[in-house]
A and B are shown apart, each in its own frame.
Chain A
Amino acid sequence: MIDRLHPLSILIYFLSASLIPAFSRNPVLHTLCLITGFLMLFTWADAGKILKRVPVFLLFFLIISLFNPFFYHNGNTVLFYVAGRRFSLEALLFGADSALIVIGVSVWFISLSHYMTGDKVLLLFGVLSTKLATIVSLIMRIIPHYASYINAYRKQQKLMGIYGEGTFLERLRAEAKIFAGFLTWSLEHSMTTADSMTSRGYGVAKRKSYRIYRIRQIDILIMITSVIFILLLGLSLIRGTFETNYYPVIVMQPQGREAILSESVYIIYSLFLTVKHLIKVNYGFFENKQSKI
């Protein structure tokens, strides 16, 4: 289950699955990214909801794919002419590849935003700095509190006839008055918050973040494979064996012995992204069996 993973491994896993392939120009990798991205959606969303989104993705795919050949006219295989300009197969495929990246990454990010809940994000900040985590937590608390207050405050002041009607300048002046009132209120109240923090020992000792998530073996495994994958991909990118040339004719790199590297990247990538699903499916199956007993 992905939501049971440690936030750090969730983050690394998702980033290596989506963002890193986006840096390369390799249609095979991008297709794999898109397919696994959709598989990932199935781990948490209803099939119905996912299918509902498919037409939107298709539309995006078409728009992005067609966008490119209308503006770039390189490529040897001319399909037809639009207003005297070439519309080439290479440019179309280049567009399609870009579309794959955009959609693949967005599909992965939909799942990421589902799995990365607020407190998980907070923990990640805590890993960086305890102080930063406290500040983020304070802000997350203050925003809804202030928003609801200022909303109620404006309504009340409107009711008391302070603002609402009049010329633009009058309304602006009233708005400024309201804002000043809100500032006074927030300053007064943050004094109590500060007192509450001090009286609960803020700053008396070296602060420690309380961690409700713990790293398990599976987290370590996922992080290590992610790192290996990132390194492998990085290596292929540096050596340039991974790129596909679109213009003037499409040349799929690599050829010969260099291909072994990129093929192994494909295999590791897809294994890495799907093994998790297999675990999940099996686990779910097992769980169902147990609960029936």
Chain B
Amino acid sequence: MDFLKINNLKFKYASYDESYIPEGNVLDDVSLNINEGEIITLCGPTGCGKSTLLKLLKKEIAPQGMQSGDIIFCGKNLSELSPLEQAKDIALLFQNPEDQIVTDKVWHEIAFGLENLGIKNAEMENRIAEIIAFFRLESISKSDTATLSGGQKQLLVLASLLAMSPKLLLLDEPISALDPENAESFISTLKRLHKQLGITIIIAEHKVSYVAPISDKMAVMDKGRIVCFDTPNNAMNVYERLLPPIVPVESKMPKPADSEPAVSIKNAYFRYSKKEKDVLENLSADFKKGTCYSIFGCNAAGKSTLLNLISGLLKVQEGKISWGVKKPKIAYIPQNVELMFLSDTVRGELINSGYSKDNIPDYTKDLNLSSSPFDLSGGEKQLLALAKISLLTPDILLLDEPSKGMDTNLERIMFRELNRFTENGTCTIMSTHDLHFARTVADMCSIMSMGKLTGFLDTEAFFKSNKLYSI
């Protein structure tokens, strides 16, 4: 008996929006057989239907629409499962950990699912203790959930799902919102978990390089169909072919060595409160016009703080930041791009930022203009944010993790657009963990550590001279 069997599943969204009627089926004739204890990765370009497929496996939150075909879970049709069985046996983790956390304390979050099932106190206690030990949450077990970092939050969400001891774990882009450090640790926890419990896991993710090594099989999806269901190695080849061909990045224009500085920082100090340590400690740097800078460094190294200071949102406490022109036009795309959105549709956002109806940037044409900007994928949100500031022709462009949540296709659009900015004389400063992205787009690179920036080096020289920060 198969553990999970999907037979000729077709799905079409019910349209509630007159102006946007989705064409064809979101899922078209999807069939999959999954054995107990397997790790399956679903991948494919944005909008291929992988998230929809995952959600259909969880009846309670399945999207509205027309569905045909069967989903057989442990020998039972999914629609025959009782709500209690559904909740207990199938767990679903979403992309953004922030929204999934329900309660204010770590221990309570783990207990939440168990409380819903009405389990006895003694049994709850036992399960919670086990989960806290397994996920090594002891030191934070009584903390407020608001004080956790993004990586800790995602682990907590996973932990609270597993407290209910599900048979099937569905992960919807679990690491897209995480930086590489946290993504690594999430994946290694997943591996440990699988080894210990032998639980069946289905992961929808476009950061394939992280999940492929731990997967037994990979399903590649395109336009609602499964085009390949094979070992990770074979499937990767198919997946690569689906992506648009790699456009060789135009060789960057040689930068005039003596272009004027757009921002210069001299001996800057900054800390958030009296009792805390300095985040910036005697930091000095010059950023020139028409150049793209990339700043690396681990979490909490102060990269975002530095961007905030350059933008003027924060003020240095000692030292000086001076801008090349008196009132520079500064555009800042923060790590949480949603902070930039004001309207309830994508079209509204674009019109708000000065575009006319027929004159929107070409790369936004593929977006669903009448949907809410919050419904876009992580990468698409970044593109929309970029479109919003494009008309400003800023002197200084600040980007915090611009490649976050982007698949390869969107990344390439981002390269092109950033290059265009730089050519027009914008000084671009970005903080990123994504070495590949930075190598393609940045002219100069530096590492932030202990409150200082290391001297900026030419990108090629930087990657040659560094042993750990290299590709």
A128 CB, min distance to chain B CBs, angstroms: 16
In the complex, A59 has a CB within 8 A of chain B: no
Contact A208 B60 (CB under 8 A): no
Given A159-B332, A185-B338, A204-B84 contact (CB < 8 Å): yes
Q: In the bound complex, what is the Cα–Cα distance between A178 and B342 (angstroms)?
A: 7
Which residue from chain A places its CB closest to the CB of B113 in the assembled complex? A200
A155 CB, min distance to chain B CBs, angstroms: 5
B344 CB, min distance to chain A CBs, angstroms: 5
Contact of A192 among B99, B114, B342 (CB under 8 A): B99
Contact A205 B118 (CB under 8 A): yes
Given A201-B113, A202-B116, A204-B87, A159-B102 contact (CB < 8 Å): no
Contact B94 A195 (CB under 8 A): yes
Binds A, one of B103-111, B184-192, B234-242: B103-111
Q: In the bound complex, what is the Cα–Cα distance between A130 and B108 (angstroms)?
A: 13
Instruction: Chain B residues near A207: list those with CB within 8 A.
Output: 115-116, 118
Given A144-B146, A195-B94, A138-B118 contact (CB < 8 Å): no
Secondary structure at chain A's binding surface: helix, strand, loop or mixed?
A: helix
Contact B116 A156 (CB under 8 A): no
Contact of A206 among B118, B311, B374 (CB under 8 A): B118
B90 CB, min distance to chain A CBs, angstroms: 8
Contact B87 A192 (CB under 8 A): no
Contact A137 B121 (CB under 8 A): no
Interface residues of A in 195-213 (CB under 8 A from B): 195-212
In the complex, A173 has a CB within 8 A of chain B: no
Contact B164 A201 (CB under 8 A): yes
In the complex, A157 has a CB within 8 A of chain B: yes
In the complex, A162 has a CB within 8 A of chain B: yes
In the complex, A129 has a CB within 8 A of chain B: no
In the complex, A52 has a CB within 8 A of chain B: no
Instruction: Chain A residues near B98: list those with CB within 8 A.
Output: 145, 189
Instruction: Chain A residues near B344: list those with CB within 8 A.
Output: 184
In the complex, B445 has a CB within 8 A of chain A: no
A247 CB, min distance to chain B CBs, angstroms: 51
Contact of B146 among A145, A180, A208, A209 (CB under 8 A): A145
In the complex, B387 has a CB within 8 A of chain A: no
In the complex, A181 has a CB within 8 A of chain B: yes
Contact A205 B342 (CB under 8 A): no
Contact A159 B330 (CB under 8 A): yes
B154 CB, min distance to chain A CBs, angstroms: 13
Interface size of B by CB at 8 A reads 64
Interface residues of A in 203-232 (CB under 8 A from B): 203-212
Contact of A209 among B87, B91, B115 (CB under 8 A): B115
B213 CB, min distance to chain A CBs, angstroms: 28
Instruction: Chain B residues near A156: list those with CB within 8 A.
Output: 332, 334, 339-340
In the complex, B249 has a CB within 8 A of chain A: no
Contact A141 B103 (CB under 8 A): yes
In the complex, B119 has a CB within 8 A of chain A: yes
A34 CB, min distance to chain B CBs, angstroms: 34
Instruction: Chain B residues near A195: list those with CB within 8 A.
Output: 61, 94
Contact A201 B104 (CB under 8 A): no
Contact of B105 among A119, A130, A192, A199 (CB under 8 A): A119
Q: In the bound complex, what is the Cα–Cα distance between A210 and B112 (angstroms)?
A: 8
In the complex, A48 has a CB within 8 A of chain B: no
Which residue from chain A places its CB closest to the CB of B170 in the assembled complex? A199
B305 CB, min distance to chain A CBs, angstroms: 13
In the complex, A275 has a CB within 8 A of chain B: no
Instruction: Chain B residues near A51: list those with CB within 8 A.
Output: none
Contact A155 B313 (CB under 8 A): yes
Given A152-B336, A205-B84, A198-B374 contact (CB < 8 Å): no
Contact of B114 among A118, A185, A210 (CB under 8 A): A210
Contact A204 B99 (CB under 8 A): no
A-B contact pairs, 11 of them (CB 8 A): A144-B146, A159-B330, A160-B388, A192-B100, A195-B61, A200-B102, A201-B87, A207-B115, A207-B118, A209-B115, A210-B114
- The chain B residues found within 8 Å of chain A, CB to CB, are 58, 60-61, 83-84, 86-88, 91-92, 94, 96, 98-105, 107-108, 111-121, 124-125, 128, 142, 144-146, 157, 160-161, 164, 311-313, 330-332, 334, 336, 338-344, 372, 374-375, 388-389
- The chain A residues found within 8 Å of chain B, CB to CB, are 118-119, 122, 130, 134, 137-138, 140-141, 144-145, 148-149, 152-153, 155-157, 159-160, 162, 177-178, 180-181, 184-185, 188-190, 192-193, 195-212
